[in-house]
Amino acid sequence: MMFRRLALSISALALAAALLLNFQGPGQASIAVLDTTSVSGSSISSGPTSGSSSGSTSTATPAPATGTASYTGDLVSTRFGDVKVQVTVTDGTITDVQALALPVGGHSGQISNVVAPLLRSEALAAKSASIDVISGATYTSRAYATSLQSALDAAGL
Amino acid sequence: MGTAVSIHVRAPLPAAGAIEAACAVLHDIDRRFSLYRPDSELGRLARGEIDETALSPDVRWVLAACDDLARTSGGAFDARRHRADGVVDPSGFVKGWAVEEASRCLDDAGARNYLISGGGDILARGESAPGRPWRVGIRHPADPTTVIAVLAVSDGAVATSGLYERGDHIRDPGSAAVPRGLASLTVVGPSLAWADAYATAAFAMGLDGLAWIHGHPGHGAFAVTPDDRATWTPVVEECLVRETPRQVPLSASSHAAGVS
């Protein structure tokens, strides 16, 4: 299959699956299962966005059976900034979920573009170390879940 | 609020069905523990429809673990008292415990190098590439686009507690006030269930939480204060990723220091 050949040529294979659970807090009344597989060299690839991404979810169009499309959830504001979630669907399956956090202060929104650390210790150089994942409360925010659900609604999933 | 879980697997790939099994475990735990599902065991307990003796063994075990934690943390983590309405809520432990339970599906299926991220809490096994541990960034409490430190983790767990996006939900059960001492606290340790709960407890203790974590063998803590300073314990020091110096004099027998 196409993906498998691509993975072998990169010589590192990553499978990713994501699902949404409710352990606490009101808001999501149902579990959205985003079982996905995504193949990339070293991390979940963000992939190109197609022209069909949209912030509006007033009409839910079902995700197309073939091809790749991105669906952007509603912008949700928090006191620490705004959160918008983008879902990429390939051949009817979710292949990526990305938080497009619009930053406080107006710098680049990509988490991978880390900036120089604020800490006074110059021994820490987060900007030069490649990072696999971020630990923090990022994905538990109500804003993230709300925006994600609206992206799923837009994708008809 | 929902918890998004992502699973990243490197070679050797586990047997087919491993990821589905892991997801099924997460769903099952959610069904039994979620306070916002009408048929969950904890929901029925909260409504008085059943008492604790009628809970399934897993749920009873989790509540007992939380009771132990309430004792050892001096009440800083207390599943029975942290909610204002008195509902028993062990979610600060369950989030990490669920990921650990799910990880067994991957272990049983032969996966050796993987990373599971559940709501920003991380369980890492093996390496992300041969000779390269997983790299876990700690985000800045106030800026979701900024990473302020990177930890190299292999066979370990990272959990972060903070007020920044969840709102003022962490209550010091003793005072019912919201702790103001720290902006965030990250715990590193062998088990995600315990790291998750320890992070919640230590965060509520403020800077004293660092010493409390240091007193747990094999655990480290990294704390960020509201004025953008950070402090960390020796176990974290050992896994902090540091840039190697760029200006390394080249000689016939040395390699240039690389930054990966």
CATH number of the structural domain spanning residue B69 = 3.10.520.10
Letter for the amino acid at B17? G
Which tops the pLDDT comparison, B95 or B147? Answer: B95
Inspect the interface and report whether the beta carbons of B27 and A31 lie closer than 8 Å: yes
B52 DSSP 8-state letter? G
Q: How distant is the Cα of A64 from the closest Cα of chain B, in angstroms?
A: 24
For chain B, where are the alpha helices, taking DSSP H only?
18-33, 41-46, 57-72, 91-108, 192-205, 208-214, 234-239
pLDDT in tens, A57-92: 334 455 566 788 888 777 766 544 556 667 777 777
| B181 band by pLDDT with thresholds 50, 70 and 90 | confident
Which tops the pLDDT comparison, B148 or B197? Answer: B197
Give the count of Cβ contacts less than 8 A between chain A and B: 259
**What is the average pLDDT across B163-186?**
62
Domain presence at residue B257: no
Would you say residue B63 has pLDDT above 80?
A: yes
The B residues from 4 to 23 touching A (CB cutoff 8 Å) are 4-11, 13, 19-20, 22-23
- How many domains are contained in chain B? 1
Q: How distant is the Cα of A113 from the closest Cα of chain B, in angstroms?
A: 8
Domain presence at residue B247: no
Domain presence at residue B20: yes
| B108 band by pLDDT with thresholds 50, 70 and 90 | very high
Cα distance between residue A114 and residue A110, in whole Å: 8
Chain B residues within 8 A of A115 when measuring between CB atoms: 145-146
- Dig out the tokens for A130 from the structure: 């490649």
| A150 band by pLDDT with thresholds 50, 70 and 90 | confident
Which tops the pLDDT comparison, B194 or A121? Answer: B194
To test the contact with chain A by mutation, choose from B6, B94, B114 the residue with the greatest count of A C-beta atoms within 10 A, namely B6
Domain presence at residue B219: yes
- Residue located via tokens 């916002």: B36
Which tops the pLDDT comparison, B255 or B215? Answer: B215
Domain presence at residue B181: yes
Inspect the interface and report whether the beta carbons of B144 and A107 lie closer than 8 Å: no
Cα-based distances in Å from B41 to A68, A148, B45, B81, B93: 40, 27, 6, 18, 16
pLDDT in tens, A88-146: 777 777 666 665 654 333 332 232 222 233 222 333 333 444 677 778 754 334 555 56
Inspect the interface and report whether the beta carbons of B8 and A15 lie closer than 8 Å: yes
Cα distance between residue A155 and residue A95, in whole Å: 12
The B residues from 82 to 141 touching A (CB cutoff 8 Å) are 89, 91, 94-95, 98, 115, 117, 119-122, 128-129, 134-141
Letter for the amino acid at A5? R
CB atoms within 10 A of CB A43: 18
Cα distance between residue B54 and residue B41, in whole Å: 9
Inspect the interface and report whether the beta carbons of B10 and A117 lie closer than 8 Å: no
User: What is the pLDDT of chain B when averaged over all its residues?
Assistant: 83
**DSSP class per residue in B116-171:** EEETTEEEEESEEETTEEEEEEEEPSS-TT-EEEEEEESSEEEEEEESTTT-S---
The per-residue pLDDT for B97 is 94
Which of these, B192, B211, B196, lies nearest to B160 by C-alpha position?
A: B196
* Domain residue limits at A133: 2-155
| B74 band by pLDDT with thresholds 50, 70 and 90 | very high
Would you say residue B226 has pLDDT above 80?
A: no
- Dig out the tokens for B29 from the structure: 């735990």
Domain presence at residue B207: yes
Least confident among A47-56, A132-141, A147-156, B40-49: A47-56
Task: Kindly state whether B74 is in contact with chain A, defined as any CB-CB distance less than 8 angstroms.
Answer: no
The per-residue pLDDT for B167 is 44
The per-residue pLDDT for A4 is 39
Which tops the pLDDT comparison, B199 or A6? Answer: B199
- Among chain A residues, the shortest Cα distance to B35 is held by A24
Q: Identify the bridge partners of residue B152 per DSSP, sorted by sequence position.
A: B135
pLDDT in tens, A32-52: 222 222 222 222 222 232 333
Would you say residue B237 has pLDDT above 80?
A: yes
Give yes or no for a contact between A124 and A117, defined as CB atoms under 8 angstroms apart.
Answer: yes
| B153 band by pLDDT with thresholds 50, 70 and 90 | very high
- How many domains are contained in chain A? 1
The per-residue pLDDT for B156 is 97
Domain presence at residue B253: no
The B residues from 202 to 221 touching A (CB cutoff 8 Å) are none
Mutual angle of helices B91-108 and B18-33, in 10-degree steps: 160
pTM: predicted TM-score of the whole model, two decimal places: 0.63
| B147 band by pLDDT with thresholds 50, 70 and 90 | confident
Least confident among A33-37, B157-161, B183-187: A33-37
Would you say residue A55 has pLDDT above 90?
A: no
Which of these, B92, B50, B88, lies nearest to B73 by C-alpha position?
A: B92
* Domain residue limits at B34: 5-239
Cα distance between residue A27 and residue B217, in whole Å: 38
Domain presence at residue B155: yes
Q: How distant is the Cα of A55 from the closest Cα of chain B, in angstroms?
A: 21
CB environment B182-217: b (16+ within 10 A), e (fewer): bbbbbbbbebbbbbbbbbbbbbbbbeebbebbbebe
Q: How distant is the Cα of A59 from the closest Cα of chain B, in angstroms?
A: 24
Inspect the interface and report whether the beta carbons of A131 and B98 lie closer than 8 Å: no
Would you say residue B19 has pLDDT above 60?
A: yes
Chain B residues within 8 A of A137 when measuring between CB atoms: 119-120, 160-162, 164-166, 184
**What is the average pLDDT across B23-32?**
91
